[in-house]
Structure 1
Amino acid sequence: MPAPHPYAARLASIPVERHEVGVLGGTTAYWVYGPADAETTVVAVHGFRGEHHGLEPVVAYLDGYRIISPDLPGFGETDALVGRAHTLEDYVAWLDAFVRAVAPGAVILGHSFGSIVVASAVAGGLRTPRVILVNPIGAPALQGPRGILTRLAVFYYWAGAKLPARAGEAVLRNKLVVRIMSASMAKTKDPDLRRFIHDQHDTYFSRFADRDVLHDAFVASVSHDVSEFAARIAPPTLLIAADRDDITPIEAERRLAKQFPDAELVEIADVGHLIHYETPEQAADAIRRFLAPSGDGTR
């Protein structure tokens, strides 16, 4: 039985439409939330193994904005890239083409692995007035506070790609492994919220096209970080970081913020790498303040 969705009532009040668009020879599925005539449009890029549902709790607190949330290639309902290896460069090419086709000039938001894709794309010339990075990967993952676990994850995804097809797929979609990943990231002690988080991961964490896509995307996610691109990101940038993030420690996020020409860092206490699930209202408040023309939180 699905866990109760704590943000369902707010989401239900926001209009949403599913769309598809051809990008780089494949079909990208995306969802448009909010009014069509909103003053501000935000393209939101989710993280590794996720899909657009993961960012919906933040969307729930961004009523009045137009949010365009695609599934990354090879995840959720979006086709794997045709004739490409799902490297960071391939994801950047996809994002650039997607934004040009659907929402040129939009604000660009990225969460986790999405922060790397967004940072690389903007540094490479994707035009946007503002950039928002939630739980940004601000330092090499193998050097984070759980570097040993990251190395175990490297082996896990490598083994999933090398085992015979059926065994490899079973390992990568194993529900116990998904639950361990979920439990390690969740910091909340609220049992209902933990059940919701685990249910979200159980439902959506294994909706990847195949093991090759998953392996390639994982390699891309641990081989790069936002600090590689920060100095070349000219638009004003908002970093929303967690003080208990096991992937990028808050000290690294503080150093990262100083590498941008124009960046603001908002720190959220008592949460880890799941800001979008555990503290979406605080994240949305920071986004509203950042996007407000007057700078005082009003629109």
Structure 2
Amino acid sequence: MTVASPYAPELARMPVTTRVLPVRGSDTHVWEYGSGGLDDEARREAGTLVIVVHGYRGDHHGLEPVIAQLNRPGYRIVAPDLPGFGVSTPLDAVHDLDGYVDWLRAFAELVRAESPDARVVIVGHSFGSIVVAASIAGPSGIPVDAAVLINPIAAPALKGPRGVMTRIAIGYYQLGAAVPEKLGHVLLSSPVMVQVISVTMAKTKNRPLRRWIHDQHHRYFSAFANRTVVLDAFRASVSNDVSEYAERITAPTLLIAADKDDITPLAAQHRLQEAMPDARLVVLDDVGHLIHYERPIEAAAAIDAFLEPAS
């Protein structure tokens, strides 16, 4: 039985539309949210364009709790399913970091052209933080006015607080690659493994919220196109991190980190902030790698304060 979202009332108040954009060989499914309407004229008149990039093995649903708190006049929020995940079809390229960066740059160019006068803000969670960082770094990066990285992967995952767990995960994915394809797909989408991952990451002691988080993972965590996609993207997620691009990210950047994140230690988040030319760090207590599920209200408040500073 589906567990009702605690953030459903806020999300229900936001107009939403869906469409499909062909980008780099992927039929990329896109959800657009905005208080001013979502036709072509409303897109042109948007004052702020927010592009939202979800994490590994998720889809656009994961960041909807944060999106639900950002119902602001003039905001156009665009949330695609990454190619090969959710209902978006795979790329016509390898699903490594380069493939996703090339896709995101092309995708951003398309949606920016529809809102030519808008302030552009790009948001990435977890693996999405790596894709966003690599996509906006340097002179060839996506031109943005601001960036927000939620649970940023600030250091190599193998060096995180649960580096041993990461190595176990690597072994799990290696096994999924070694067995015949049909069996590999079954193994990689195993409800037992999804439950183990969900229980490990959730830190809240609120039982209804935990049930909803587990339900979300079971509903969406195994929505990937095929074994190759999920294995390529996993390798990319553990082989790269945001710190590689920090010095070349010149846009003002908000880092929203957690004190109990199993993937990145808090000290690495502080080092990441120091390495970036213009970064602000907000740390949320008593939460781990699921800020978007457990603390979306606080995350959205931090984003509001960052984007609309007091004059």
TM > 0.5: yes
| Amino acid in the other structure paired with 2:135 | A
Consecutive aligned runs of 4 or more in structure 1 exceeding 4 Å deviation: none
Tell me how far apart the structure 2 counterparts of residues 280 and 51 of structure 1 sit (CA, whole Å): 16
My pick for the range that moved more, 32-41 or 208-217, is: 32-41
Contact 1:135 1:273 in 2 (8 A): yes
Q: Which residue of 1 aligns with 2:122?
A: 108
* Secondary structure at the counterpart of residue 167 of structure 1: helix
Contact 1:43 1:103 in 2 (8 A): no
- 1:54-203 to 2 correspondences below 5 Å: 54-64=62-72, 65-82=75-92, 84-104=93-113, 106-124=120-138, 125-203=141-219
- 1:40-51 to 2 correspondences below 5 Å: 40-51=48-59
My pick for the range that moved more, 64-73 or 134-143, is: 64-73
* Secondary structure at the counterpart of residue 244 of structure 1: coil
- 1:251-290 to 2 correspondences below 5 Å: 251-290=267-306
Q: Which residue of 2 aligns with 1:30?
A: 30
Q: Which residue of 1 aligns with 2:116?
A: none
Tell me how far apart the structure 2 counterparts of residues 20 and 165 of structure 1 sit (CA, whole Å): 29
Q: Which residue of 2 aligns with 1:12?
A: 12
What CA deviation, in whole Å up to 9, does each residue of 1:195-219 have, x standing for no partner? 0000000000000000110000000
RMSD: 1.1
Tell me how far apart the structure 2 counterparts of residues 25 and 153 of structure 1 sit (CA, whole Å): 29
Q: Which runs of 5+ in 2 are unaligned?
A: 37-41, 114-118
My pick for the range that moved more, 25-34 or 267-276, is: 25-34
| Amino acid in the other structure paired with 1:85 | V
Tell me how far apart the structure 2 counterparts of residues 54 and 46 of structure 1 sit (CA, whole Å): 7
* Secondary structure at the counterpart of residue 107 of structure 1: strand
Tell me how far apart the structure 2 counterparts of residues 72 and 4 of structure 1 sit (CA, whole Å): 24
Q: How many residue pairs end up in the alignment? A: 294
My pick for the range that moved more, 49-58 or 159-168, is: 159-168
Q: How much does 1:38 deviate?
A: 3.9
What CA deviation, in whole Å up to 9, does each residue of 1:164-188 have, x standing for no partner? 1121111101001000000000000
Tell me how far apart the structure 1 counterparts of residues 229 and 6 of structure 2 sit (CA, whole Å): 32
Which TM-score applies when normalising by structure 1?
0.96
Tell me how far apart the structure 2 counterparts of residues 25 and 4 of structure 1 sit (CA, whole Å): 35
Tell me how far apart the structure 2 counterparts of residues 196 and 26 of structure 1 sit (CA, whole Å): 30
Tell me how far apart the structure 2 counterparts of residues 38 and 245 of structure 1 sit (CA, whole Å): 35
My pick for the range that moved more, 27-36 or 258-267, is: 27-36
Which TM-score applies when normalising by structure 2?
0.93
Q: Which runs of 5+ in 1 are unaligned?
A: none
| Amino acid in the other structure paired with 1:107 | V
- 1:213-224 to 2 correspondences below 5 Å: 213-224=229-240
My pick for the range that moved more, 214-223 or 157-166, is: 157-166
Contact 2:156 2:238 in 1 (8 A): yes
Contact 2:25 2:90 in 1 (8 A): no
